[in-house]
Amino acid sequence: MSDCIFCKIVDGSIPSTKIYEDENVYAFMDVAPLTKGHTLLVPKQHVKDLFEMPEDVARNLYAAAPKIANAIRSAFNPQGMNTVNNNGSFAGQTVFHYHLHFIPRYDETDGLKIKWDTKQSEFTNDVLQTVAEQIRANLN
């Protein structure tokens, strides 16, 4: 896609710091990393987000994910790693070519704060059954 920054990275028309590529995927350093080793993995095919991702693109993308995660872990020995994918502006997506963030985690001050305000008391078993049925009805 001609005006997509990650398509331009994949085709080499704008620079990136490459980690890995194969026939289907390209991995490179995030230019504004949260932590040391913050890497992005993208499909070479332009896909806007997870909602629009064909199964074969998903298969090929995730097939490469453990290789990237293990290389980062071997390089820097983080205490953990978050993989994050934002879909849609409301969810924080700013580049509309699917990308999976690999964010190695070092300590409490590394800059990534993930807080889950769970609402378990609202989601009784009855509610969960209804919600699950609504989702199942939309699988295709």
Shortest Å distance, C-beta 79 to ligand AMP: 21
- Candidates 24-32, 55-63, 104-112, 128-136 — which segment interacts with ligand AMP by CB under 6 A? 24-32
In the complex, the smallest distance separating the C-beta of residue 51 from ligand AMP, rounded to whole angstroms, is 14
Q: What's the burial of 10, exposed, middle or buried (CB within 10 Å: 0-12/13-18/19+)?
A: buried
- Contact track, ligand AMP, 41-80, x by CB under 6 A: ----------------------------------------
Contact range with ligand AMP by CB under 6 A, out of 28-36, 54-62, 73-81, 132-140: 28-36
Given 4, 7, 71, 95, the residue binding ligand AMP (CB under 6 A): 95
Three-state SS at 137: coil
Residues 45-64 that bind Zn ion (CB under 5 A): 46
99 belongs to the catalytic site? yes
Cβ closest to Zn ion, residue 60 vs residue 82:
60
Residue 17's contacts (CB-CB under 8 Å, 6 or more residues apart) are 28, 29
Which residues are 82's β-sheet partners? 103
Q: Whole-angstrom Cα distance, residue 116 to residue 56?
A: 32
SS3 content of the chain, % helix, strand, coil (to 5): 35, 20, 50
Which residues lie below 8 Å from residue 106, measured CB to CB, with a gap of 6+?
35, 36, 76, 78, 79
Question: Which residues are near Zn ion by CB under 5 A?
Answer: 1, 4, 6-7, 46, 97
